Amino acid sequence: MSFIRPEAAAGLNRWREALYGGAILLLGLSWIFGSRGLLYLLGYPVVVLAFVLIWVGVQRARFRSASGGAGAVQVDEGQITYFGPLTGGAAALADLERLTLVRSLKPAHWRLDTPQQESLLIPVNAAGSEALFDAFATLQGLQTERMLAELNGPGDQPVVIWERRSLRPEHVRLH
């Protein structure tokens, strides 16, 4: 028997890293202002660690969307695999040429383009899709803040989030 509504539990789960960071921040501040000696000195690195955890937690919470989408995502040793009800496939991060957010599909989908195979479309709310945040973060040159802004932004046009080498002339900007 749970004393927390399922909606509230889902909200807390979405922000869990930031909430852990807040708890660690309170612990560090209590050590700084309420003790002396070794705990006082350890309080400062704990506060810095807490701020880093809060920052990462806010980014991860912005990446997570409502669950319950079609299919499941698995990330294992640089391989992204999507098991969908109608489609599926796998893409190696090392072979990835382009990452696009296709917002015209409902829900929005990640499109992973690799050479010599079809594009892999993954709904943003597929089960296990939160693992994609860490996988995408390993892509050289990916701007995480821009990805999060596009993911939560308005519009229905596809947006190229990352590409290995540009297929457009150097003088043409994406945004």
The DSSP element (H or E) to which 9 belongs, if any, is: helix 6-14
Q: Flag whether pLDDT at 102 surpasses 60.
A: yes
Q: Flag whether pLDDT at 167 surpasses 70.
A: no
Q: Flag whether pLDDT at 24 surpasses 90.
A: yes
**The predicted structure's pLDDT at residue 175:** 56
Within 10 A of 43 (CB to CB), how many other CB atoms are there? 19
Which of 116, 101, 105 lies closest to 146 in space, CA to CA?
101
**Using one digit for the tens of pLDDT, what is the confidence trace for 25-66?**
999 999 999 888 888 899 999 999 999 999 999 888 888 776
Q: Flag whether pLDDT at 127 surpasses 80.
A: yes
pTM of the model: 0.72
Q: Flag whether pLDDT at 163 surpasses 70.
A: yes
Cβ–Cβ under 8 Å, residues 156 and 103? yes
